Amino acid sequence: MSIEQFTVQPTFVIVTAIALAVVGIIVLVTGLIIRPLEAPKLYSFGRVRVGKGTRRVAFIIAGTILIGTGVGLYALGGIPSTITVGSGYVYIQSPPFFGAGSMNITSSEIASAYVGQIGSGNLTLSKQDGTSAGNLNIGVFTLGNGHTAYVVSDNSTDLIIQLKNGDYVVLGTSRTNALATSFSQSVYNLNLTN
């Protein structure tokens, strides 16, 4: 059997990061071109005295923070999670700060597996650690049945694997059907009908 790799890309993180950076640039440029207050007035806010040019500095600081946050989020959040299916195993690798980290599951660890819909009944997700936005779920979650689930998915239809230790692994991509077929042929028979 060949090795197949599937990717889950957190595109919302990339879009958010770019939006933050763009807003930061606008705020920074505004701070650079804004003229200081004409009169050298001082305003008191408790012990803090605000004078001429403070508005400009505030814009520059806010813009720099937004740009830094956007660049950092892009650098960290733009890392895709990968699902590798090989002979007798499935290997999941996701960023530990946004996901479940890395784990290797062999066919001997699997109690059952099937393709199903996440979001109702025993398959509702409650986030413990990770990312959850729309169909994108990456991280450690608690299922409606109380069990822990390691989830790497950007699809509502997923490959759901119950491990012999009681934990679950939920995998889904834009190519969940291909993932399920590869998994069924190489790791654990799902009795798929075409």
User: The dihedral of CA 77, 78, 79, 85: what is its sign?
Assistant: positive
* Range among 7-11, 59-63, 70-74, 89-93 with highest mean pLDDT value: 89-93
Cβ-contact 157, 115 below 8 angstroms: yes
Q: What is the pTM of this model?
A: 0.72
Task: List the structure tokens of 147.
Answer: 């069990």
Residue 39 binned pLDDT confidence (cut-offs 50, 70, 90): very low
Please report the pLDDT score of residue 194 as a whole number. 53
Give 142's strand partners: 126, 148
